[in-house]
Each structure stands twice: as structure tokens, then as C-alpha cells.
Amino acid sequence: MLPTVHKRCLSVVFAALVGLLAAVPAQAAPSPKIKTAYPVDSDRDGHVDGVSLKWSGKVRGGADSKAPFAFSVKGYRVTKVVKARGKSQRLRVKERRECDTGGSLKLSFSSRKSSLKSGAGKKVRSHKIDMRRFDVPIPRITCAVRSVPLRSNGNLPQPRQSVGQPPSRF
């Protein structure tokens, strides 16, 4: 059994150690960042109409249907941000008129415009990602363009069928 003086010294040293540990800020977990962003063609018409995101950690919230949006995608106009589920999230973008033949996106996220929070409840920090710099196989979306000769008035020929006749060729 320790003498009383030693017990007091030991308790003072222990209290000082606890005080030092309390004074040192805890190592904060890094804010989740976007790891991947791929184009999505949900209606399979050859035009990108969404972006699928994967975060490095779990995120909550982030649903938004009114501009200005926290996300911006180069070459596309974001129309809606869908609520995050775990580590994944979807963006809806306006389809472009021309065919989308590329598969790489350049995307930026601004925390000022977002209600997105990490799994620990902290606000997700702003950052950018350029998928063109990664050397991984990227899903490609391509358009099939059908070449049809135009009529002299500039209109496309329409198929015609008479009853009892074989189908006409345009």
C-alpha cells in the first residue's frame, strides 16, 4: 500500500495528464469527398440525363430542386440534386441536343450552397473532381445516328402504306 503522499502525487499527475488530453483537440475525421462521378443515361436515348456520385464517406441530406445548386458539371446544367443515400448520390442534368460520346466529367461542389453533411454531422467541404485524370475504364454513352436522304424540300421522307399493298420503301 502506498503512503498517502504518494497517492496524492499520483492523483495530481493523473489529473494533469487528463487535463492535457482534454486540451489537445481530437483528430477530426476528414470531410467526405467525391471519389467518382459517372454520366448516367436512365432513359437510354443516348443523351446523358444524370450523374452518379460516390463519396469517400457516408453523407446525409443534400436534396435540392431549386437553383443555385451546390454542384456544377462542366458542359451540363444541373436541374435537381437527389438526397444522398450512404456513400452514393444522384444529380439530374438537362439533356444536351448533341450526342454524348464522352464518359469523363469535371464536377465541382460548393459547400456554401449545400445542406449536405457528413455521417458525423459536420458540413462537407467544397472541392472539385476531374474524372478525365483517372486512368480507369469509363462507361461510354454513344448515339446511333441514322442517315436518311432528305427530300428536296428539306423534310424527312415518311413511310406510306396502302391497304393490300406491300410496304413501301422510302
- Segment 96-134, tens digit of pLDDT: 887 776 678 899 999 888 888 988 888 899 999 988 777
pTM of this prediction?
Answer: 0.64
Question: Looking at residue 12, what is its pLDDT?
Answer: 73
Q: Does residue 24 fall inside a structural domain?
A: no
Q: Does residue 62 fall inside a structural domain?
A: yes
Grid-cell match 495528464, residue found: 17
CA distance 157 to 80: 38
Say which residues have a Cβ less than 8 Å from residue 54's Cβ, sequence separation at least 6: 34, 35, 36, 37, 87, 88
Closest CA to 146 of 155, 134, 156, 131: 156
Question: Looking at residue 31, what is its pLDDT?
Answer: 87
Q: Does residue 121 fall inside a structural domain?
A: yes
Q: Does residue 168 fall inside a structural domain?
A: no
The CATH number given to whatever domain includes residue 97 is: 2.60.40
Grid-cell match 439530374, residue found: 92
Residue 125, domain extent: 34-133
The per-residue pLDDT for range 52-98, each reduced to its tens digit, is 999 999 999 889 988 889 999 998 999 999 999 999 999 999 998 87
Stated as kind and residue range, the H or E segment containing 42 is: none
SS3 content of the chain, % helix, strand, coil (to 5): 15, 25, 60
Q: Does residue 157 fall inside a structural domain?
A: no
The per-residue pLDDT for range 12-63, each reduced to its tens digit, is 777 776 666 665 555 566 889 999 998 888 888 878 899 999 999 999 988 9
Q: Does residue 42 fall inside a structural domain?
A: yes
Closest CA to 74 of 109, 118, 44, 116: 109
CA distance 23 to 4: 29
Q: Count structural domains, the chain.
A: 1
Q: Does residue 151 fall inside a structural domain?
A: no
Q: Does residue 86 fall inside a structural domain?
A: yes
CA distance 61 to 4: 56
129: β partners? 107
